[in-house]
Structure 1
Amino acid sequence: MEVMEKRRSEIVSFVNEQGSITFAQLKNKFPSVSEMTLRTDLKVLDQNQQLIRIHGGAKSLNQVAGNDDFFKKRVVSNTDAKKMIAKKAIPFVEENKTIFIDSGSTTTMLAHHLKDQPNIFFTSGLTCAIEMSKLKWAKVSLPGGNMNLRSLSLNGIEGVRFLEKINFDIAFIGVTRYDDKTGFTCESLEDAVLKRTVIQRAEKVIVLMDSSKIDKKGTYTICTLDEVDAVVSDDMLPEVFKEKCKNLGIAVY
């Protein structure tokens, strides 16, 4: 069972890295695995919404639906990396602080791992709010606004005006892509505006991002690298990116 799960996880990573693959490429990647087994793997992964099976191969969910694809599809992508990121981020959540946790699958994973302690939490993510509502001592607030049905986040002028009045001790920001030229990006203008508002109101800004999002250009810039204080990721960040962070005095975890 462990061998099968490991292989299927590797298949998802391979498809995400390539964007799309042919079955021949998959067979070359796993030469010791039978064609029938690989076809079964693709079928199961498609049913689990971890990739899209197409005639003659498979496509990444990002390739099919864009980087701000449906939340239920993103939440099953790179789950091990997201769990790692969440556990690394937990020590930054101190008692009696005002904290913003952004919308997104990685930030929701952080919300799931939060300990019950006195905090004031603000979030634009509905799924984050649901996770944090399980805490007995924390106060959790959602801004008003419009719902982004892809990311299950709230955005719009009402939310921005609400957040403009708050001083955050720390903000955990989710992003969809990073490139040196575009900075941290997402695929919704309204989400980008809300995220920028929070960043401007936060004493400390921490980006939660798995390494698969590096060196990919997005549509709407959230902020540049020098506008954040730390990046929490998995252990696969490119050395070039980590060196840039070091030169800017940005901590990498």
Structure 2
Amino acid sequence: MIKEERIHKIEAYILEHKSVSLDELMEVFQVSKNTIRRDVQELVEKGSVKKVYGGVTVKDEKRASLESFHERQVRNQAEKKLIGKTAASFVNDGDIIFIDSGTTTIEMIEYIKDKQVTVLTNNLDFIFRALPYENLTVISPGGILERKTNSFGSIKYLDMLNAYNINKAFMASTGVSLTNGVTNASPIESELKTSIVNRSSKVFLLVDHDKFDKYGLMTYCNLDEIDVLITDQLPNETYQDYFNSTRHKLVIAK
């Protein structure tokens, strides 16, 4: 096994098991302790893992709390507009799409407002801003009002969504990681988000660079359920390697 392949597999093993000893890595990969130490050091310098006494563990991720819509809206505004514009370029006339709650997904409206599109959404701000555009057919599942996210978190009316063939879903997240997947800080919304991902033909995730290696209260889908991830900066090599080795697409907004 060549060095690059071995290091990649060691990284994957550590990410899967969260924390492992150097002796365990020596046994699994059949190499000397000096070789394991050098390989682990490369991963430490890369930023995906950290050393602990006698072994190595996944680098700590930051837990994201549920902030108000305004608090999130004013952060990374320019980047969010750019991501929204790029995401909108994937929307075609005649599409049936889902627009998730969020301060990044809301930016899409400026770039789809002249298209003939059916939009399912729980995003109150999107509904209000879509009012002048009769070419946008807007459908909302309703549900419980989540004031911090300016959205409906639907529990009772999930079955309603099964009547619609959603071909593209544009999702938001409070944090994304390889270990915890795509996460959300609101329990009220999470069931709806999971249902949308399962129902949609193609799933897009819109996240700015601050969302990587963070996680929210609940995982609503795994990263491998996302077809296209759109962000504003190239993430670290761990994520680049993941997307390069899978069918999933990473798009940097321009």
The two structures have a TM-score, normalised by structure 2, of 0.71
RMSD: 1.7
Residue 226 of structure 1, CA deviation: 0.7
Q: Which residue of 1 aligns with 2:204?
A: 206
Q: Which residue of 1 aligns with 2:44?
A: none
Separation in 2 of the partners of 1:148 and 1:105? 14
| TM-superposition CA deviations, 1:45-76 (whole Å, max 9, x none) | xxxxxxxxxxxxxxxxxx9xx63211011111
Q: Tell me which of 105, 108, 111 is aligned to 2:109.
A: 111
Identity %: 30
Separation in 1 of the partners of 2:244 and 2:144? 38
Q: Which residue of 2 aligns with 1:226?
A: 224
Q: Which residue of 2 aligns with 1:217?
A: 215
Secondary structure in 1 aligned to 2:85? helix
Separation in 2 of the partners of 1:231 and 1:160? 25
Q: Which residue of 1 aligns with 2:39?
A: none
Separation in 2 of the partners of 1:144 and 1:87? 26
| Amino acid aligned to 2:233 | D
Q: Which residue of 1 aligns with 2:139?
A: 141
Residue 160 of structure 1, CA deviation: 1.6
Q: Which residue of 2 aligns with 1:52?
A: none
Secondary structure in 2 aligned to 1:139? strand
Separation in 1 of the partners of 2:245 and 2:106? 30
| Amino acid aligned to 1:193 | E
Residue 247 of structure 1, CA deviation: 1.3
Separation in 2 of the partners of 1:250 and 1:133? 34
Q: Which residue of 2 aligns with 1:182?
A: 180
| TM-superposition CA deviations, 1:17-51 (whole Å, max 9, x none) | xxxxxxxxxxxxxxxxxxxxxxxxxxxxxxxxxxx
Q: Which residue of 1 aligns with 2:79?
A: 81
The two structures have a TM-score, normalised by structure 1, of 0.71
Q: Which residue of 1 aligns with 2:119?
A: 121
| TM-superposition CA deviations, 1:58-104 (whole Å, max 9, x none) | xxxxx9xx632110111111101101101111111100010100011
Separation in 2 of the partners of 1:182 and 1:77? 23
Q: Which residue of 1 aligns with 2:240?
A: 242
| Amino acid aligned to 2:139 | S
Separation in 1 of the partners of 2:77 and 2:131? 22
Aligned pairs, number: 190
Secondary structure in 1 aligned to 2:182? strand
| TM-superposition CA deviations, 1:109-145 (whole Å, max 9, x none) | 1123323121111101101112222322120111121
The runs of at least 4 consecutive aligned structure 1 residues that moved more than 3 Å come to none
Equivalent residues of 1:179, 1:217 under 8 A apart:
yes
Equivalent residues of 1:173, 1:208 under 8 A apart:
yes
Separation in 2 of the partners of 1:248 and 1:134? 41
Secondary structure in 1 aligned to 2:214? coil
Q: Which residue of 1 aligns with 2:24?
A: none
Residue 155 of structure 1, CA deviation: 1.3
Q: Which residue of 1 aligns with 2:171?
A: 173
Equivalent residues of 1:98, 1:169 under 8 A apart:
yes
Structure 1 residue ranges without an equivalent (≥5): 1-62
Separation in 2 of the partners of 1:109 and 1:117? 15
Equivalent residues of 2:101, 2:123 under 8 A apart:
yes
